[in-house]
Amino acid sequence: MTKPVGEIRKELQAAAEERLPAFITAYSGDSREGVRKLVTQAECRLEKLEAEKIRIYNLQEYERAYADCGWICGIDEVGRGPLAGPVVAGAVILPKDCGILYINDSKKLTEKKREELYDVILEQAVAVGIGMASPARIDEINILQATYEAMREAIQKLPVRPDILLNDAVTIPGVSIRQVPIIKGDAKSISIGAASIVAKVTRDRMMVEYDKEMPEYGFASNKGYGAAAHIEALKKYGASPIHRASFIKNFV
């Protein structure tokens, strides 16, 4: 009995990526127009999957280059520019044979994809560390030094000591581990990209929680950045406990 096109469509929609070749093989001989279209869709998905595997392979260039050094840790931060909230750093050691797809600079990913990858990274990573510096600390020592402090904390919280650090652009003072600063590293190294995702999701979730306590500033949507509505709220309500005094002098 010939399987209905609608049933085949559902099969394709439910098919995991590794099942696509089998789907194409199973239905490539079906002459029905609807099925041919579904086979074409499966072939397109498979092409995109193969392209993503190549992209991820290229994203592991630095990890291959330093593979003999031991445990490689990617370091990145998020939140240097906002008017409110902490700066958060992520440190991630991925397994040598890491096969996680779609990792990228967190800014290039949708919120949904970041959330999905966050869970996968935490599940598969050898080690993950998070560090942060509060708004008060940022005001006290400036944003650059606070960022370094958050990065050092993230490294210290790793349950596994890394042998080399791949950093997004910076060299962290006060760290004895070998460091390799990489300009735009979150888009060039899978380890740094993973760290950027962990840091971004962690900070975004914090800002959503702050929004529940102080909804007038719109932290859930602006994440503390200087959106027009956020600045207007600052002028109307004044600073909140999580605003950075050194950042909002022109608005309050």
Residues 84 and 188 in one domain: yes
Rounded mean pLDDT, 113-128: 98
Residue found by looking up tokens 């840790």 in the block: 73
- Identify whether the C-beta of residue 61 lies closer than 8 Å to the C-beta of residue 39: no
Q: What is the pLDDT of residue 97?
A: 86
Helix (H, G, I), strand (E, B) or coil at 12: helix
91, 202 contact by CB (below 8 A) = no
pLDDT surpassing 70 at residue 52: yes
Is position 189 within any domain? yes
Give the per-residue pLDDT at 49.
93
- The answer on 79 and 26 residing in a single domain is no
pTM of the entire predicted model: 0.91
Is residue 79 domain-shared with residue 171, that is, in the same domain? yes
Which tens digits make up the pLDDT trace of 202-218?
Answer: 999 999 999 999 999 99
User: Residue 135 sits in which domain range?
Assistant: 69-203
Q: What does the pLDDT read at residue 180?
A: 98
Q: Which residues have CB under 8 Å from 63's CB, separation 6+?
A: 72, 94, 98, 166, 189, 190, 191
Report if residue 15 sits inside a domain.
yes
- Residue 27 and residue 130 in one domain: no
* Residue 122 scores a pLDDT above 80: yes
Verify that 83 and 114 share a domain, yes or no. yes
As a whole-number percent, the residues of the chain with pLDDT over 70 amount to: 100
Same domain, 104 and 172: yes
Residue 163 has pLDDT above 70, yes or no: yes
- For residue 214, is it within any domain? no
Q: How many CB atoms lie within 10 A of CB 145?
A: 14
- Does 99 have pLDDT greater than 90? no
Same domain, 38 and 146: no
Within 8 A by CB and 6+ apart from 209, the residues are none
Residue 238 falls within a domain, yes or no? no
Which string of DSSP letters, residue by residue, matches 111-156? Answer: HHHHHHHHHHHHHH-SEEEEEEE-HHHHHHH-HHHHHHHHHHHHHH
Co-location of 119 and 188 in the same domain: yes
Domain count, the chain: 2
Mean pLDDT for the chain overall? 96
List b or e across 61-82, with b for residues whose CB sees 16 or more CB atoms inside 10 angstroms.
ebbeebeeeebbbbbbbbbeeb
3-class DSSP state of 181:
strand
Per-residue pLDDT tens over the stretch 57-88:
999 999 999 999 999 999 999 999 999 999 99
Whether residues 27 and 109 share a domain: the answer is no
The SS3 of residue 174 is: coil
Asked whether residue 17 falls in the same domain as residue 50, the answer is yes
Q: What is the rounded CA–CA span in Å between residue 97 and residue 222?
A: 37
Interaxial angle between packed helices 5-14 and 20-27, expressed in degrees from 0 to 180 and rounded to the nearest 10? 160
Domain assignment present for 178: yes
Q: Are residues 115 and 199 in the same domain?
A: yes
Evaluate whether residue 170 is within a structural domain. Answer: yes
Q: What is the pLDDT of residue 72?
A: 98
The string of pLDDT tens digits covering residues 171-199 is 999 999 999 999 999 999 999 999 999 99
The pLDDT of residue 87 is: 98
Measured between its terminal Cα atoms, the distance across the chain in Å is: 74
2 band by pLDDT with thresholds 50, 70 and 90: confident
* DSSP string of 184-235, one letter each residue: TGGGT-HHHHHHHHHHHHHHHHHHHHHHHH-GGG-HHHHTTS--HHHHHHHH
**Looking at residue 1, what is its pLDDT?**
67
119-125 CB contacts, 8 Å cutoff, 24+ apart: 121/92, 121/94, 121/194, 121/197, 121/198, 122/198, 124/94, 124/95, 124/98, 124/100, 125/92, 125/93, 125/94, 125/95, 125/194
Do 113 and 51 lie in one domain? The reply is no
